[in-house]
Amino acid sequence: MKYLRKIGVFLLIGLMIFGMTACGSKKGNTFTGEAKGKNGTIKVEVTIDNKEIKKIKVVENHESEFTKDTFKKVIDSIIEANSADVDTVSGATLTSSAIIAAVKDAVKKSGIELTPKKSNGQASAKAENTSTDVVIIGAGGAGLTAAIQAKEDGAKVILIEKNAVVGGNTNFATGGLNAAGTKYQKEKGIKDSVDLFYKDTMKGGKNKNNPDLVKLLAEKSAETVEWLTERGADLSDVGRMGGASVNRTHRPTGGAAVGAHLVKVLDKKAKEVGVEIRTETKAIELLAEGNKVNGVKVQDAKGNKYEINAKAVILATGGFGANQDMVVSYRSELKGFGTTNGPGATGDAVKLVEKLNVELVDMKEIQSHPTVVPGKSKLITEAVRGNGAILVNRDGKRFIDELQTRDVVSKAELEQKGKTAYLIFDQNVRESLSAIEKYHKLGLLTEAKTVKELADKIKVNADELEKTVKSYNGFVQAKKDTEFQRSNMKTELNKAPYYAVEVGPAVHHTMGGLKINTDAKVITKDGKVVEGLFAAGEVTGGVHGANRLGGNAVADITTFGRIAGKNAAGLAKK
Ligand code: SIN
């Protein structure tokens, strides 16, 4: 009897332990799993019935907005396969791997053995030769803009994207879009002109820019803001980035990141107007007869190859900032540098145009962005400096006008001890720019109640940092920086809490690329137009010269995207 009672007690304890372990991860037939994504924990609830995954619900997620389609895609394929052994999503490898790992964690906790369903092995329905008016390669900001414009101008458009998600590098653009003479500037009493924008851009690019392209960019910039606004964008906040003489960087209300917002608006609009978007479709060859391009050969995710014949082709494949080998082949001193670029920025167009004798310009001009978190490749937007932050070295001292152009600030940082610096700002700056909230959420910021406490936390000389902030505040009051001649000092740094983040340079923009004319037509080495071939955005060279100004990339992709789309549609109609 005593013996039986003992067994009963053991059984009860066993059941309690099992219950306790399971209760954190199981609700009925729903099991919780988690894994670390790009920006933090991804937690999912997986409902399993009769050994089959019926539902996957994401209950915690800190990934960027543009990965929404990635979640859907991975979850759909897991449910379809009844297995978490599915492929990751190109262009969002870290996020998709984490979703897969979280589901695997839940399935493991369930103790249930799933029976994977066999794929029906059918080739993609679209993997056959087709034809259209305009085919656009690359669905980043330039490609999406060009596609909408071409479609609105009456062309039949296919937009292909090698990644599973659209947006490309535009997904990461934060600071804004430069434009001169907009209604938003006028409302705020900002005096700007096309000529001043032109001069700032030429000066920033060390006059290496193609003046005709810069002139067009400046002239069309306000119209581009109108065009985007009419299609649903909010660009009403106006701030400043390095190298600009006045506030002309347009971004969403409250200073939110511009890129993710624009991608969402443009993607929606492209679908609304009927652009056919084919993701996971990589261009492998431009089809041409002599000097006339008439389509593209592509490969889909299953490896099927087919041709899209077209009256016009637009290259919008972006730069090569994520292609270390290519970067180093032009600039060996950048070996080992991090990059702010998404994985798709691999310079694919250079290979695609090889046989067409296309002229490449300024390929050695590769920009490093000075405020990237070392080891994490997280870009801290230049708008943080534009809205008032300063840079200090390990001695707690400023060393540069923080709103100098990126090449100058990056070089100055590399001359400091440790080759990095600290971006310092206060609550005033944080409240002025909602993009900062993301950095806070990601745990990138060191926060303190006083400047002294902040200095102690980041281990810089506290007396010096206090002196630096005090004298900077004096410059703001006097509206004159006698130390580094910074002309734009938006606010005193005097509202607690105070924030710091360590930053250094990383590869950001490749100014070089395919030569184009003002019609966005691609030009050969002997000065001829390649018939039927247009290009827009970072794939091209000439707009930014030796150094791009912050806010000019988004201006470039949208303005030249519109020009390329319009001219390609015009050609298709002939
Ligand atoms: C930034 O916000 O600093 C990057 C945006 C740009 O390069 O224009």
- Residue in 171, 382, 423, 508 to alter for ligand 1 test, most ligand atoms within 8 A of Cβ: 382
Residues of the chain with pLDDT > 70: what percent? 93
pLDDT at 96: 85
- 367 alpha carbon – ligand 1 mean position (Å): 11
> DSSP letter string over 154-217?
T--EEEE-SSSSSBGGGGG--S-EE-SS-HHHHHTT----HHHHHHHHHHHTTT-S-HHHHHHH
- Residue in 405, 508, 511, 543 to alter for ligand 1 test, most ligand atoms within 8 A of Cβ: 508
Protein residue with least CA distance to atom 6, ligand 1: 550
pLDDT at 14: 45
Sheet-wide strand order for 237-239: 177-178, 249-251, 237-239
Looking at residues 106-118, what average pLDDT do you find?
Answer: 81
pLDDT greater than 60 at residue 124: no
Protein residue with least CA distance to atom 7, ligand 1: 550
Which tokens go with 180? Answer: 């001169």
37 Cβ partners below 8 Å, 6+ apart?
Answer: 61, 62, 63, 94, 95, 98, 99
* Ligand 1 pocket residue status of 462, Cβ below 6 Å: no
Ligand 1 atom showing the smallest separation from residue 257 Cα: 2
CA distance 534 to 208: 22
Helix axes 258-273, 552-573, angle to 10 degrees: 20
pLDDT at 293: 98
Burial of 461 (0-12, 13-18, 19+ CB in 10 A): middle
pLDDT greater than 50 at residue 22: no
pLDDT at 8: 52
User: Pairing between strand 292-300 and 281-289?
Assistant: antiparallel
CA distance 238 to 29: 51
Burial of 533 (0-12, 13-18, 19+ CB in 10 A): buried
- Cα–Cα separations (whole angstroms), residue 548 to 291, 350, 551, 561: 31, 20, 9, 18
CA distance 567 to 220: 15
Quickly list H helices, 112-158: 141-152
pLDDT tens digits for range 159-199 = 999 999 999 999 999 999 999 999 999 999 999 999 999 99
Q: Return phi, psi of residue 286, to 5°.
A: -85, 135
Which tokens go with 139? Answer: 């669905």
Helix axes 211-230, 552-573, angle to 10 degrees: 90
- Select from 3.30.565.60, 3.90.700.10, 3.40.50.2000, 3.40.50.300 the CATH code of 367-506: 3.90.700.10
Ligand 1 atom showing the smallest separation from residue 259 Cα: 5
pLDDT at 81: 81
Burial of 17 (0-12, 13-18, 19+ CB in 10 A): exposed
Q: Are the beta carbons of 177 and 224 closer than 8 angstroms?
A: yes
Dihedral sign, CA of 324, 328, 331, 335? positive
pLDDT band at 527 (very low <50, low <70, confident <90, very high): very high
Which residues on neighbouring strands pair with residue 293, listed in sequence order?
288
pLDDT band at 503 (very low <50, low <70, confident <90, very high): very high
pLDDT tens digits for range 241-269 = 999 999 999 999 999 999 999 999 999 99
Which residue has tokens 């070996």?
335
pLDDT at 5: 56
Ligand 1 atom showing the smallest separation from residue 509 Cα: 7
User: Whole-number mean pLDDT of the chain?
Assistant: 92
pLDDT greater than 50 at residue 12: no
For residue 299, the SS3 value is strand
pLDDT greater than 90 at residue 491: yes
- Cα–Cα separations (whole angstroms), residue 217 to 138, 199, 206, 210, 385: 21, 12, 17, 11, 25
Which residues on neighbouring strands pair with residue 313, listed in sequence order?
135, 533
Question: Comparing 83-92, 126-135, 233-242, 547-556, which segment has the lowest mean pLDDT?
Answer: 83-92
User: Pairing between strand 41-49 and 30-36?
Assistant: antiparallel
* Ligand 1 pocket residue status of 550, Cβ below 6 Å: yes
pLDDT tens digits for range 31-47 = 898 888 877 888 888 88
Looking at residues 76-102, what average pLDDT do you find?
Answer: 81
317 Cβ partners below 8 Å, 6+ apart?
Answer: 137, 138, 283, 347, 348, 349, 352, 539
pLDDT at 363: 98
Looking at residues 373-389, what average pLDDT do you find?
Answer: 95
Decide which of 65 and 409 is more confident: 409
Looking at residues 277-293, what average pLDDT do you find?
Answer: 97
Long-range contacts of 457-461 (CB under 8 A, 24+ apart): 457/500, 458/422, 458/500, 458/502, 459/394, 460/392, 460/393, 460/394, 460/395, 460/396, 460/422, 461/394, 461/395, 461/396
5 labelled catalytic = no
Closest CA to 146 of 571, 433, 479, 489: 571
* Ligand 1 pocket residue status of 381, Cβ below 6 Å: yes
Catalytic residue, candidates 406, 486, 548, 562: 406
- 508 alpha carbon – ligand 1 mean position (Å): 9
* Ligand 1 pocket residue status of 174, Cβ below 6 Å: yes
Closest CA to 520 of 532, 508, 505: 532
- 406 alpha carbon – ligand 1 mean position (Å): 10
User: Pairing between strand 305-315 and 529-535?
Assistant: parallel
The CATH superfamily label for domain 130-177+260-365+511-556+567-573 reads FAD/NAD(P)-binding domain (3.50.50.60)
* Ligand 1 pocket residue status of 341, Cβ below 6 Å: no
pLDDT at 6: 53
- The per-residue b/e assignment along 384-420, b for 16 or more CB within 10 angstroms, e otherwise, is bbbbbbbbbbbebbbbbbbbbbbbbbbebbeebeeeb
pLDDT at 41: 87
